[in-house]
Structure 1
Amino acid sequence: MMGRVSQMAFWGKQKEKNVEGTREKKPGLIKRLWRKFRGIDWKNPLNRWRLLFAVLFFTVAMFGVGYGAIAFTSTPSFCKNCHEMSTEHVTFEASAHNQIKCTQCHIEPGAKNMLLHKIESMKEVYYHIVGVPDQIVQTVPVMNVNCIQCHSENRLVSATGDVIVNHEGHIKKAKIPCITCHSGVVHAKAVERGLNTQKDMDFWTKENAEKLISKKYTSPNMGTCIDCHNKVNNGEKPWKDEAYILPENTHGKHDEKKEEGHGAETATTEVHEEVAADSEAAVKEHTQDIILQAIGKQKKDVELSMACATCHKEVATPKNHDRKQWNQSHGDVAFTNLDKCMNCHQDSKWVKKLPKENIMDLINAVDKEKYVADMLTVKNHSRNNSFCSACHGKRPPGHVESDEWLTAHAPLAKTDKAKAECYVCHDREKPKPGTENPTAPTDVYCEFCHRTGFKGDKKS
């Protein structure tokens, strides 16, 4: 007696077996379709038109799906879905470019370039799954061809009309990328400022945007311009190197780990601190050299003038500076109007590389209180500020020779106010290592000679 039993097949369908174990085979779907296709009468014109219609429909559908996928993944709203893009999206929304798509800046125009970029972007999906690098750093600069889709390359002055900038000379003749000067126009130099690390992502919100983004980060930085001009005067073309244009790429750079023990780690730390100190001193010296060129003490026969008036149409020396021997008599103005002095003489205006910032300090910052004249504040600024210390670090001509000055300076330091002026450059007591007090321009301190104090000092 023959019987049949049911058995579950691999694909979940039931196939029948007879008791003897013989299986009734049924052609698969593909084979059945192929047999049906071969059985069609292709001599019939109607069947050929049906095939053509099916091919056209399939092709249009595939192109439609592909175009839709590219369009969908090219919108800012798609980019913001990834948590690691919080910084980029918030800065984008707050910028003047928030009405265009990310792809209009970051992808060279053309369907081929768009398709290649989408293929290359698959690595971003990989990073999103396995963990993105910290920090996210732009590795491909925005090209000029993207910028001139909207902007004129023939502009001669800035939008405000103050700064003379020959864009045609920069772009067409020198072939300088726009991003060299306008690196912060959309993303407010968040990478350079160190504010887009993974621990900072949650703080990039619309509510915090006003405190994290300001004009000094989105507008071209004067320090960038004069640094480039200075390099050109030294025979360089820094924009040829992408590393000069893009933020520093920190991927793969880790502090060296020593296994020799605590002593070796301490020695390594000390070496790093010495290198950092030397680097900081070199940056300050370079900044001071540029400042001196800008105020007229410039090297002769240079290709590009570094003087302020070369590029600024409306810049002018303040009227209160127009006095005899201003360089020797501006102390009272600095004492009473230090906040106004810093509008022009702050270091951040003269350097290309911005310092790293702490995102919580910016968010929790309160509005600055009105400056109250204070000699200690003036002294600290004069020592730290590159513009001030460029001159304060040099011995005044009025001090004559040291042996003469030693016995001649007493009448000029009789009052507390007069002594306070001396303390701008000199410490009263011997500086103690490791203190947070700004370093004095000179290592000559008063108590080196006045070991018992000054006449009139109150005894404790």
Structure 2
Amino acid sequence: MGRVSQVAFWGKKDKEKPESRESKKKPGLFRRLWQKFRNIDWKDPVTRWKALFVALIGSIVIFGGGYGVLSFTNSPTFCANCHEMAPEVSTFTASAHSEITCVQCHIKPGFMNMITHKVISLKEVYHHVMGIPEQIVQTEHEAVSDENCLQCHSKNRLVSASGDLIVNHKGHIEEGVPCISCHAGVAHAKIAARGINTEEVRGHWTKEVAQQMMEKKYLAPNMGTCIDCHDKVNNGEKPWKDVAYLVPPNPEHLKEEATKEKSNAVIHEANTEEEAKEAAAQHDEKTQKIILEALGKQQKDVKISMACATCHEQVNIPEDHKAADWNQNHGGTALNQLDKCVDCHQDSKWFRDIPKEDLVSLLKMAEVEEEQKDHKYQPNITVVREQSRINKFCSACHSERPTSHGESDQWLTSHSGKAGTQEEKAQCLVCHDREKPTAESPDVKAPTDVYCQYCHRTGFKDDVKN
């Protein structure tokens, strides 16, 4: 049997070996390709031009394909492929930012920022495959950057589009206040903070539902955010330095914290009601104090004035409010025009925190409101009385003793003439309860603990209980 000389992979000659069955086997694909590559005459100019052409075509295919993939993953169409993104895509489509792509807000400008974001976003693919998250939220590490906003918007704006609100955007930006601290709801109407983008309601999200949920109070800057931030600045704080102040809390993080605190659950539950009442009382006191500052009833030396005219260029005060005795005689107007009163005197606009909502209930409520959109407000003293007690604007003044009451001893014996009719008594009952409040009484408390039956224990003549 003859002997052959074999060439090794790296070009070294092996010692002659007896020809075997294995040596007769046809070389593999990769070995054949390698042998062809080694046999190429690279000194030939034509060969080099061919290689350059192949490399060029290959680069175009690779980089062009990669760019195509990046472009597709940057489009809202790609985001819409995932069921869990239905609320975000629906609201985005219904927003004023629907003409731009998602990444123009959510990825900082620059190729490397895009590649970095794509690598980090692989975890979203993992979550999609392994288990859809209960709620999609903007994480603290991915808050929308000012760089993104300033690609389209100027920082030199001073007056809002309506012409009423004075906002020094440049001053805020130079101070380090992020755009998102005020404009967090511009694209998605704060659906994460409202809790209406959870897994259980994602099937309800349609284009029509998104239009219903895109309410102005969630799209435009929340006045409560401005007030809360200004109040903190006056107390020496810079709340925007904490990214958690700018984005909703991540429910997954909350679950982890709850698990860590499980050992203290009994103690925590025992103090929850008491702590909640104390927090509510402190919140009410703080809100009322700020409202008094805004109305000019309290003045103090602060960095940023809390008065309405500080930010609002035009405060349209109705003519009847300018009457000298308006504070003492506006009860009749409040009874007949309560719906107009609460347009301005609504303290819920002064709160930064957004209460959790239920999407199904909101949709049902929208149907009822649609049916009753032509329904006109009907004067109702019970509704007025309740509003005057829960509304901080009303209680800010109602908690003070009216000047019409005069001295206590004189008013005690002469106020009967001020409460002769049912209409006059109704005005008294705005602040006073008829009967002594009990533990079973409604949570809506009177601004005073003085009640009628403390003295009128036998009732009133010809009285019809309201």
CA deviation map 1:208-241 (0-9, x unaligned): 2232111121111222112222222222222211
**CA shift for structure 1 position 39:** 2.1
CA deviation profile, 1:39-70 (whole Å, cap 9, x unmatched):
22223222222222222222222111111111
Following superposition, the deviation at residue 416 of structure 1 comes to 2.0
Match of 2:147 in 1: 145
How far apart are the structure 2 equivalents of 1:61 and 1:370?
67
State yes or no: 1:244 paired with 2:250: no
Deviations 1:257-302 (A, max 9, x none): 9999xxx97x865532332232222222222122111111243322
Q: Is the 8 A contact 2:181 2:246 kept in 1?
A: yes
Question: Contact conserved, 1:105 with 1:146, CA < 8 A, in 2?
Answer: yes
CA contact (8 A) 1:412 1:418 kept: yes
**What residue identity is the alignment partner of 1:123?**
K
Q: TM-score scaled to structure 1, two decimals?
A: 0.87
| 2:240 paired with 1:233 | no
Paired position in structure 1 for 2:17: none
Matched, 1:441 2:442: no
Q: Does 1:117 align with 2:127?
A: no
What is the CA–CA distance in structure 1 between the aligned matches of 2:278 and 2:153, rounded to whole Å?
42
Specify the alignment match of 1:180 in structure 2: 181
Change (3 A) 1:458 1:166: closer
The 2-side partners of 1:388 and 1:168 are apart by 36
Partner in structure 2 of residue 4 of structure 1: none
C-alpha contact 1:182 1:219 (8 A) present in aligned 2: yes
Task: Work out the CA distance in 1 between the residues paired with 2:22 and 2:150.
Answer: 75
The 3 A distance-change label for structure 1 pair 398 and 65 is same
User: Which residue number in structure 1 is paired with residue 6 of structure 2?
Assistant: none
Aligned to 1:387: 393
Contact 2:87-2:210 at 8 Å conserved across structures: no
Q: Which runs of 5+ in 2 are unaligned?
A: 1-20
Q: Per-residue deviation at 1:403?
A: 5.4
Q: Does the 8 Å CA contact 1:430/1:447 hold for their aligned counterparts? A: yes
Larger CA deviation: 65-74 vs 393-402? 393-402
Deviation of residue 331 (structure 1)?
0.7
Q: Given that residues 383 and 439 in structure 1 are in contact (C-alpha distance below 8 angstroms), is that contact kept between their aligned partners in structure 2? A: yes
Match of 2:12 in 1: none
Give, as a single letter, the amino acid of the residue that structure 2 aligns with 1:35. Answer: Q
Q: Distance in 1 between matches of 2:111 and 2:259?
A: 45
Distance in structure 2 (CA, Å) of the matches to 1:293 and 1:58? 70
Contact 1:195 1:359 (C-alpha < 8 Å) held by counterparts:
yes
Contact in 2 for aligned 1:177/1:239 (Cα 8 Å): yes
* Aligned residue in 1 for 2:291: 291
Alignment partner of 1:451 is 2:453: no
Matched, 1:427 2:433: yes
The equivalent residue for 1:13 is none
Give 1:317's aligned residue.
Answer: 317
* C-alpha separation in 2, matches of 1:55 and 1:402: 98
- Structure 2 counterpart of 1:378, which letter? V
1:430–1:445 CA contact under 8 A, matched in 2: yes
Distance 2:270 2:339 in 1: 36
Q: Whole-Å Cα distance in 1 between the matches of residues 440 and 80 of structure 2?
A: 45
Task: Decide whether the 8 Å contact of 1:105 with 1:142 is kept in 2.
Answer: yes
Cα deviation code 1:410-460 (max 9, x no counterpart): 33333222222222122222334355452222333323343332233479x
> Which structure 1 segments of 5+ residues have no match?
1-20
Alignment partner of 1:154 out of 124, 138, 156? 156
Which segment drifts farther, 247-256 or 120-129?
A: 247-256
- How far apart, in 2, do the equivalents of 1:282 and 1:31 lie? 80
Distance 1:436 1:35, change over 3 A: farther
Q: How has the CA–CA distance of structure 1 residues 433 and 24 changed in structure 2, closer, same or farther, with 3 Å as cutoff?
A: farther
Question: Contact conserved, 1:298 with 1:306, CA < 8 A, in 2?
Answer: no
Indicate whether 1:356 and 2:356 are aligned: yes
CA distance in 1, matches of 2:26, 2:285: 86
Instruction: Provide the C-alpha distance between the structure 2 equivalents of 1:258 and 1:43, rounded to a whole number of angstroms.
Output: 74
The amino acid across from 1:159 in the alignment is A
Task: Give the secondary structure class of the aligned counterpart of 1:455.
Answer: coil
Counting only pairs closer than 5 Å after superposition, residues 17-28 of structure 1 correspond to structure 2 as 25-28=25-28
Once the two structures are TM-superposed, the CA of residue 400 in structure 1 deviates from its matched residue by 4.6
- Partner of 1:439, secondary structure, is coil
Aligned to 1:203: 204
Query: Over residues 103-135 of structure 1, what are the superposed CA-to-partner deviations in whole Å (9 max), with x where a residue is unaligned?
Result: 001111011101111111101111111223332
**Cross-structure match for 2:35:** 35
* CA drift at 1:408: 4.1
Q: Structure 1 residues 435, 76: CA separation in 2 closer, same or farther (over 3 Å shift)?
A: farther
Amino acid paired to 1:168: K
CA-to-partner distance for each residue in 1:161-211, whole Å, 9 max, x for gaps? 11111112112x312111111111111111122211111211221122232
Does the Cα contact within 8 Å between 2:91 and 2:211 map onto a contact in 1? Answer: no
Quick one: structure 1 residues 378 and 185, their matched pair in 2 at CA, closer, same or farther if it must change by over 3 Å?
A: same
The separation in 2 between residues aligned to 1:290 and 1:129, in whole angstroms, is: 49
1:323-354 per-residue CA deviation (whole Å, 9 max, x = no partner) reads 12322221111111111111101123211112
The RMSD of aligned alpha carbons is: 2.5
* Contact 1:76/1:102, CA 8 A, preserved across alignment: yes
Matches within 5 A, 1:202-281: 202-254=203-255, 269=269, 271-281=271-281
Greater mean alpha carbon deviation, residues 35-44 or residues 325-334? 35-44
User: 2:459 and 2:261 mapped to 1: Cα distance?
Assistant: 49
Give the whole-Å Cα distance in 2 for the aligned partners of 1:170 and 1:258.
38
TM-score with structure 2 setting the length: 0.86
Secondary structure of the residue that 1:191 maps to in structure 2?
A: helix
Query: AA paired with 2:153?
Result: H
8 Å CA contact 1:348, 1:354 repeated in 2: no
1:334–1:341 contact (8 Å) kept in structure 2: yes
Q: Partners of 1:23 and 1:408 in 2: how far apart?
A: 124
Cα distance in 2, alignment partners of residues 135 and 427 from structure 1: 45
Amino acid at match of 2:128: H
Task: Say whether the 8 Å CA contact 2:95–2:214 is kept in structure 1.
Answer: no
Task: Give the 3-state SS of the residue equivalent to 2:166 in structure 1.
Answer: coil
Structure-2 separation of matches of 1:162 and 1:389:
27
Distance 1:108 1:101 in 2: 13
Q: 1:216 to 1:458 in 2, by over 3 A?
A: closer
Residue type of the alignment partner of 2:286 = H
The change in CA–CA distance for 1:25 and 1:448 in structure 2 (over 3 A counts) is: farther
**Amino acid corresponding to residue 319 of structure 2 in structure 1:** K
Identical amino acids, percent of aligned pairs: 56
Distance 1:243 1:445, change over 3 A: same
